[in-house]
Structure 1
């Protein structure tokens, strides 16, 4: 078989594979251009040149996809690059070894786990749902246009708040690669991109909505869901903390729930007072299933209950309430406490708020006024809902336990 020929489409097609051997045929027109044929019959164009005493094979592309003219032009450009001191084969090797965004994200997750990042679960969810379009791209291939387009897409599909969280996550991952991993020549394509304008949310359960909310809650067939929503409202705790509540954190005698600093946003322990209604819910759960491990155990990887979106949606539909999020329950308790005349400092201590302006005030507060504030707030909620009178508690009608 000829080792050199004038490349034409027909002649290349006529080159037959040799069993057990990869053959090479050079082009008579363009120096350095050849076609390699595998034993299986796959054909690809290569540029072959000696660089610094070593023969380098630079793959141009499949013969079925790249025209002969393009292969010749590309070969000429590669030879010119080599003459200027560039080694295209070495550049390809570097690029092949370069991290993808998914590689960098995996390293970032390891760092976050080591530091105990509280919102890592949300970050991993955003990566899984919204960042797969750039996950397999090499870091050097990701441009600002990619991130800008991504931000607009998430804004349209999932909303302005979610899009901003995804943009912030992307920015943080790239900054980690630059500042912590010291990846050479890496720039942050998300840096400087404008976030969506976010309006401050002030949604709460209003006085007229309370009876409808509690009526719908009483008909919730799944006891875990009913108790979870109830405790979310009565404690004012963050969603993630209620989901991951453990019996070891609960002291029914002292009527407190201590959220450890490792789970708290401000990294300080939060002592949440447990009101009469909250104690009733917890005692019933302890009697029904014991008081070991998670308060809301689940069958998933976390071991506890996870985002109850379906049950929450059903509850709102039964109640005829719109635009209410789980986090709004936290705001609802604080709102009823304010209506009852409780000071912002006392509320802040029980909710675990942390700021330079209020930390000193919170530190001097005893637990008694905080516990009193929680009782006042939840009493106001239950009175508004019609399930509690001024001095007498009427038990919430229980739905059947979900099988």
Structure 2
């Protein structure tokens, strides 16, 4: 049927068992489809490259009147005349994923094959805990710079932080803050870069480029000689069952149901203690130590041959002190790991609790396990080792990473300047 599409002509069409079409007598391809259920939908049909394409304009009486649909049909005909394909553009627009869907593709096609498992897990947490709750339902093509800036502000302010019960005696703690916001920014930036590669956004449209990151002030914590002595005493006490976590604590008069934290002298997991000693004596990262296998240890050449690390395959040189720690570990016949977990086929997952007890007993505040790596490097710098040597021991791939320890090489410099000063003063002394 063909007639001018007006409110009267469109509403006069009776539904049938199949879709019914009324085509406009003035605008080529402009029509109204009436479904068997009575829905009236304005459409535009046209031919491109020998193929018939159809664009849905909208529903009559809900989204469009007949006159508005006519104007939209004229606009689309103008686009077609300039060589555009509105149907293809609409199809592409429908294929653009939401941020949540883009995140799934990012994890599976980029993070999982190209990033370390720990980095993959961190990206997954940042997506689930911060990005998806804030902008997960928005299309990837809709995000602008102000959206990224808003996400960073809200993550930094703790809007996505939570502390909830997950299971019996279980908790799920999500922290916000400026550092977390910066990690979210980095993740979003990579996701939008891939969105450009996957044609979901125009080239050079990454909205993260204009959203400023928060300033980060890295605090490098190093153990002093006195602190090293206190840490050593606490480790020895933990080995011998003499560790007192909090000397000022008093035992409760009545024990509560479910038990009470032990107040008096105690011991800690000997494997956890050995892991802490290795961290301090090798400068290794926590994951590198906890995932050590006996096959990684070369006792004859005093090496740890790590097949993988943050910077790839790595050789760790063992001092005699570190080698004694390794030799004192009792292997388990059913596990390949130096530090097996509850399941022999898996390594120890965490030493957080023993570490907290030891730090408390040694009166060491704000000391992370990773700070043991910094302390290893600081002792090397103060002993006169060159920065390239320290970088080789730590397995740094970039010299700039080791440069943070340059200011710690004070002792050799002081010796040098003292020698110069003595010579100058000697030359200035009046002759006898």
Note whether the superposition's TM-score is higher than 0.5: yes
CA distance in 2, matches of 1:172, 1:107: 12
2:90 maps to 1:92: yes
Aligned to 1:186: 203
Say whether 1:170 aligns with 2:170.
no
Say how many residue pairs are matched.
Answer: 345
Q: What's the Cα RMSD here?
A: 5.0
- CA 176–90 in structure 1, closer or farther in 2 if over 3 Å, else same: closer
Secondary structure at the counterpart of residue 190 of structure 1? helix
Instruction: Give the 3 Å change call, closer, same or farther, for CA 96–192 of structure 1 in structure 2.
Output: same
Is 2:272–2:354's contact at 8 Å kept on the other side of the alignment? yes
Verify the 8 A CA contact 1:24 1:35 in the aligned structure 2: yes
1:140 aligns with 2:141: yes
Distance 1:127 1:239, change over 3 A: farther
Q: Give the distance between the partners of 2:285 and 2:22, measured in 1 at CA.
A: 69
- 2: CA distance, partners of 1:219 / 1:74: 79
Query: How many Å apart are 1:142 and its aligned residue?
Result: 3.1
Alpha-carbon offset, residue 198 of structure 1 = 1.4
Given that 2:182 and 2:214 are in contact with CA atoms closer than 8 Å, whether structure 1 keeps it comes out as yes
Unpaired segments of 5 or more residues in structure 2? 159-175, 247-264, 403-432
Instruction: Select between 162-171 and 117-126 the one with higher mean Cα deviation.
Output: 117-126
Q: 1:396 — aligned with what?
A: none
Q: Tell me if 1:242 matches 2:286.
A: no
Q: Residue by residue, what CA displacement relative to the aligned partner does 1:320-356 show, whole Å, maximum 9, x if unpaired?
A: 75433332221233345556x3535454432223445
1:57 paired to 2:100: no
Superposed CA deviations along residues 24-76 of structure 1, whole A, max 9, x for unmatched, are: 67899999363554x6x594744223244755332345679636487666555
Alignment of 1:351-362 (within 5 A): 351-355=394-398
Task: After superposition, give the CA deviation of every residue in 1:282-313 in whole Å (9 maximum; x if it has no partner).
Answer: 64341x4556256444769x944446667766
TM-score (norm 2): 0.59
- In the other structure, the counterpart of 1:329 is 372
Q: Identify if the C-alpha distance between structure 1 residues 274 and 18 changes in structure 2 by more than 3 Å, giving closer, same or farther.
A: farther
Residue of 311, 323, 336 corresponding to 1:292: 336
Residue 98 of structure 1, CA deviation: 4.6
**Contact 2:291 2:337 (C-alpha < 8 Å) held by counterparts:** no
CA displacement at 1:91 relative to structure 2: 0.4
Q: What's 2:317 paired with?
A: 272
Q: Is the 8 A contact 1:334 1:347 kept in 2?
A: yes
SS in 2 for 1:141: coil
Q: 1:304 to 1:143 in 2, by over 3 A?
A: farther
Within the candidate set 188, 209, 215, 1:197 is matched to: 215
5+ unaligned residues in a row in structure 1: which ranges? 360-403
| Residue 66 of structure 1 pairs with residue 66 of structure 2 | no
Shift of 1:199: 1.1
Distance 1:96 1:123, change over 3 A: same
**CA–CA distance in 2 between the matches of 1:352 and 1:234?**
14
- Provide closer, same or farther for how the CA distance between residues 48 and 241 of structure 1 changes in structure 2, counting only shifts above 3 A: same
In 1, distance between residues paired with 2:362 and 2:40? 66
1:130–1:154 Cα contact (<8 Å) kept: yes
- 2: CA distance between counterparts of 1:141 and 1:259? 45
The CA deviation string for residues 185-221 of structure 1, in whole angstroms up to 9 with x for no partner, is: 4222223543321113212445356356864599576
1:256 positional shift: 3.2
Q: 1:47 to 1:284 in 2, by over 3 A?
A: same
User: Which protein has greater RCO, CA pairs closer than 8 Å, 6+ apart?
Assistant: 1
After TM superposition, the structure 1 stretch with the greater mean CA deviation from structure 2, 323-332 or 81-90, is 81-90
Q: What SS does the corresponding residue of 1:48 show, helix, strand or coil?
A: strand
Q: Secondary structure at the match of 2:207?
A: coil
Structure 2 counterpart SS, 1:86: coil
Q: Is the 8 A contact 1:247 1:291 kept in 2?
A: no
Alignment partner, residue 159 of structure 1? 177
State the distance in 2 between where 1:253 and 1:290 align: 24
